[in-house]
Structure 1
Amino acid sequence: MSDDFAVVPGRLYVVATPIGHLGDLSPRAAAVLRGVDLICAEDKRTSQRLLAHIGSKVPMRALHDHNEREQAEALIDQMLAGQALALISDAGTPLVSDPGFRLVRAARERGVEVVPVPGPSAVLAALAAAGLPTDRFVFEGFLPAKSGARRAALNALAAEPRTLVFFEAPHRIVAAVADFADLFGPDRPAWLARELTKRFEQFVGATLGDVLAWSQTAGDQLRGEMVLVVGGCPDAQRPVEVDVQQLLQQLLPLMPTKQAARVAAELTGQPRNALYQQALTLKSSE
């Protein structure tokens, strides 16, 4: 093994693993997963195939949302005693919509060195191949499962100018994309990436309307991991921000206070009572 890949005792290695194609595991990641004392895996059964592929016989311990808080301190004690540990998720980069945050934070707090071993990421893979702006983007993970909460989350993002990246479960993709198309408009640029790096990898787009039409008729193809990449809100559709105080100052000389508050509420969408109180304050300061 190259000295560049040598595992140092007492460190926590955060290792990215393939999102599909086992050939995407880097030589450094393979060396770390063969050289540490213990591997913390989201699901040991899922990770066993990867470890067998690289000939790693390192023992594993399950670390997931339900036990991470309880396991973290004991794992850090092991590292402080000199053991090297690796953290992996089922696929891709740990902590990205996966467990591990509590362990990494606690390790930092207790002085354990945390070493990232970068590699595959479904977010970046989908973004790189979608052909949408990548200079600035927002990763939102999984949207709420229930329609009302999902639509509220999307309403809050409708005017976001940056490219948006989401994960979604196959059984919710039709309903989710329908909400996207309704709230963002069917012409908003979008691509759905399915089964990235796997045998049946597929990209569907190039608008939300296209993705919705495909998902409504895809049948058995609605399976596997899915990443939705959506273009940011165009400048022409972005709401114009209004300086409320300046607006009231312009309206008050022209009409009664209540009427000025009502007009300002209609133009800004802000509560009329709050605007009325603000108008009264402005008039009293004249």
Structure 2
Amino acid sequence: MSLPNTFGKLYLIPTTLGENDPMEVLPIAVKDFIDKTNYFIVENEKTARRFIKKISPSKSQQDLRLETLNKHTAPEQLSDYLKPCLEGNDVGVISEAGCPGVADPGAEMVALAHQTGIQVVPMVGPSSILLALMASGMNGQSFAFNGYLPIDKTDKKKALKQLEKRSIDLGQSQIFMETPYRNNKLLQDLTSILQPHTLLTVATDITLAQEFIKTKTVKQWRTSTVDLHKRPTIFVLHAS
């Protein structure tokens, strides 16, 4: 007879997409979990502590046990991060913004949890990728998130042409992003490289007071002015 699984669970905790009140966009279940848990795997300790403080002001910061998971984390460290789960404690994964595991190093932690037999629990919260698609008016039945485009000008042009062709061939919405300080340059590239009739959504500062989401043709964007510098932005295109 097999013994019951007494492992803790790995919870994927969504965070805000900017400096707004967390409880404006997060369900009470997120607060309930943070109130009762001290073990967290985070992308950035400083911002994670600030987020936890906003959610649970009375929680002791000294009692928190935070492990850092980012592009510098050695793969061999990941197993240690799950030790509290193996000892029966629930652990939360906190990304810098939005939902862990999507365009985020948390996916590695989730994969290891599955391999180890630890239950993974995704919690509800804002995903800039899905919110941008929802607000785009484009095909929500078939879409692809392509992450960051190449920095090299020639490679970027090739990638955009490929995305446009894929959209035409498959009827598929193509979603991508850029480092915020390069957003204005990317918008210039989009309007010069893509076909005039291709639809393009620019979705920036999603869920914040200054939120801006517009869908226009590339031709219309060529005569539009919007400053995206250092503003988190998702781009969606659909060509036909």
Q: Which TM-score band applies after superposition, normalised by the shorter structure? A: 0.7 to 0.9
Q: Secondary structure at the match of 2:134?
A: helix
Aligned ranges 1:115-264 → 2 under 5 Å: 115-160=121-166, 161-214=171-224, 217-218=225-226, 221-231=228-238, 233-234=239-240
Aligned amino acid, residue 190 of structure 2: F
Corresponding residue number in structure 1 for 2:3:
none
Paired-residue identity, %: 26
Cα shift at 1:228: 0.8
Corresponding residue number in structure 2 for 1:251:
none
Instruction: Tell me if the contact between 1:12 and 1:114 (Cα under 8 Å) persists in the aligned partners.
Output: yes
Matched, 1:98 2:104: yes
Matched, 1:10 2:20: no
Q: Secondary structure at the match of 1:128?
A: helix
Aligned amino acid, residue 222 of structure 1: H
Cα shift at 1:184: 2.7
Corresponding residue number in structure 2 for 1:63:
69
Cα shift at 1:67: 0.7
Structure 2: gaps (5+ residues): 1-5
C-alpha offsets along residues 16-51 of structure 1, whole Å, 9 cap, x if unaligned? 222133211111111112222311111122222321
Cα shift at 1:178: 3.4
Cα shift at 1:63: 1.4
Equivalent-residue separation in structure 2 for 1:119 and 1:152 (angstroms):
34
Equivalent-residue separation in structure 2 for 1:207 and 1:30 (angstroms):
41
Q: CA RMSD in A?
A: 2.1
Matched, 1:48 2:46: no
Q: Mean alpha-carbon deviation: is it higher for 91-100 or for 175-184? A: 175-184
C-alpha offsets along residues 208-234 of structure 1, whole Å, 9 cap, x if unaligned? 2333544xx545x52310111111x31
Cα shift at 1:108: 1.0
Aligned ranges 1:65-84 → 2 under 5 Å: 65-67=71-73, 69-84=75-90
More helix by share: 1
Structure 1: gaps (5+ residues): 1-7, 235-286
Instruction: Tell me if the contact between 1:174 and 1:212 (Cα under 8 Å) persists in the aligned partners.
Output: no
Equivalent-residue separation in structure 1 for 2:213 and 2:177 (angstroms):
14
Q: Mean alpha-carbon deviation: is it higher for 125-134 or for 82-91? A: 125-134
Aligned amino acid, residue 40 of structure 1: I
Corresponding residue number in structure 2 for 1:283:
none
Aligned amino acid, residue 25 of structure 2: D
Larger relative CO (CA 8 A, sep 6+): 1 or 2? 2
Cα distance 1:211–1:204, how it changes in 2: closer, same or farther (>3 A)?
A: farther
Cα distance 1:34–1:145, how it changes in 2: closer, same or farther (>3 A)?
A: farther
TM-score scaled by structure 2? 0.84
Instruction: Tell me if the contact between 1:144 and 1:150 (Cα under 8 Å) persists in the aligned partners.
Output: yes
Corresponding residue number in structure 2 for 1:25:
26
Cα shift at 1:9: 5.6
Q: Secondary structure at the match of 1:228?
A: strand
Aligned structure 1 segments of 4 or more residues deviating by more than 4 angstroms: none
Cα shift at 1:72: 0.7
Equivalent-residue separation in structure 2 for 1:156 and 1:230 (angstroms):
12
Equivalent-residue separation in structure 1 for 2:187 and 2:231 (angstroms):
16
Cα shift at 1:149: 2.1
Q: Which structure's CA Rg is the greater one?
A: 1
Equivalent-residue separation in structure 2 for 1:145 and 1:86 (angstroms):
33
Cα shift at 1:162: 0.6
Instruction: Tell me if the contact between 2:183 and 2:230 (Cα under 8 Å) persists in the aligned partners.
Output: no
Cα shift at 1:85: 0.6
Cα shift at 1:196: 0.9
